[in-house]
């Protein structure tokens, strides 16, 4: 990887961005940052608490601020699933390194996510998981430099696919 640039992971909640990000950071010898954790540290409350008190647009606004304030060089960055709603944030992250979309089929995401209502997912209150999936697919594909189909792959296999694509 040229100049030890960063790698930015995007994808739906449940796609494995945080878990795979740590493994990828170890493999590449880079720092790791989970932007959902950075939001919670900054705000001193959980993502769900932000949603409950201030609404999904407020969470997306805070997320954009955190993305733009992130020193993003020589890191593997696991973004929140809604990072792609921020054009400014994604433009900034793309300037730091390739954006990798971890694509996981809807059925598998449904299997992995049992706490959709309380997980802290920035979405319209009436929006179903299926609708959210459909809405975000276009955005993930728009910003991705690399798309890795994670269907039926274990973590090590996904990391190998990401490394081969970089």
Residue 75's DSSP bridge partners are 31
Closest CA to 5 of 110, 95, 103, 68: 95
Beta strands 99-103 and 146-149 are: parallel
- How confident is the model over 118-143, as a mean pLDDT? 85
The predicted pLDDT at position 73 comes to 86
- How confident is the model over 118-136, as a mean pLDDT? 81
The predicted pLDDT at position 129 comes to 85
Number of domains in the chain: 1
- Judge whether residue 1 has pLDDT over 70: no
The boundaries of the domain holding residue 20 are: 2-165
Beta strands 31-34 and 7-10 are: unpaired
- How confident is the model over 33-48, as a mean pLDDT? 93
Q: What is the CATH classification number for the domain harbouring 131?
A: 3.40.50.300
The predicted pLDDT at position 165 comes to 87
Name the band, by pLDDT with cuts 50, 70 and 90, for residue 119: low
Could you read off the pLDDT of 92-114 as tens digits, one per residue? 999 999 999 999 999 888 888 76
Question: Is residue 134 within 8 Å of residue 106, measured between CB atoms?
Answer: no
Name the band, by pLDDT with cuts 50, 70 and 90, for residue 120: low
Give the HSE-up count for residue 123: Cα atoms under 13 Å, Cβ half-sphere. Answer: 21
Residue 147's DSSP bridge partners are 101
The predicted pLDDT at position 89 comes to 94
pTM of the model: 0.91
Question: Is residue 35 within 8 Å of residue 64, measured between CB atoms?
Answer: no
> What are the two backbone dihedrals, phi and then psi, of residue 156, each rounded to the nearest 5 degrees?
-65, -40
In whole angstroms, give the CA distance from residue 88 to residue 44.
Answer: 24
Question: Is residue 109 within 8 Å of residue 12, measured between CB atoms?
Answer: yes
Within 8 A by CB and 6+ apart from 80, the residues are: 35, 36, 39, 47, 63, 122
- How confident is the model over 87-92, as a mean pLDDT? 94
Mean residue pLDDT of the chain comes to 89
Burial of 122 per CB tally in 10 Å (0-12, 13-18, 19+): buried
């Amino acid at each position: 990887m040229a100049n030890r640039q960063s790698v930015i992971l995007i994808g739906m909640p449940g796609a494995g961005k945080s878990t795979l990000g740590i493994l990828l950071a170890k493999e590449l010898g880079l720092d790791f940052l989970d932007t959902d954790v950075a939001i919670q540290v900054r705000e001193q409350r959980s993502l769900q608490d932000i949603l409950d008190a201030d609404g999904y647009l407020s969470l997306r606004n805070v997320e954009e601020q955190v993305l733009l304030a992130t020193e993003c060089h020589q890191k593997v960055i696991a973004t929140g699933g809604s990072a792609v709603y921020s054009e400014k944030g994604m433009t900034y992250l793309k300037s730091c390194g390739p954006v990798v979309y971890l694509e996981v089929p809807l059925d598998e995401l449904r299997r992995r996510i049992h706490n959709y209502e309380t997980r802290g997912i920035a979405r319209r209150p009436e929006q179903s998981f299926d609708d959210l999936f459909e809405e975000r697919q276009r955005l993930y594909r728009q910003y991705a430099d690399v798309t890795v189909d994670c269907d039926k792959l274990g973590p090590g296999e996904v990391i190998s696919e990401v490394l081969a694509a970089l």
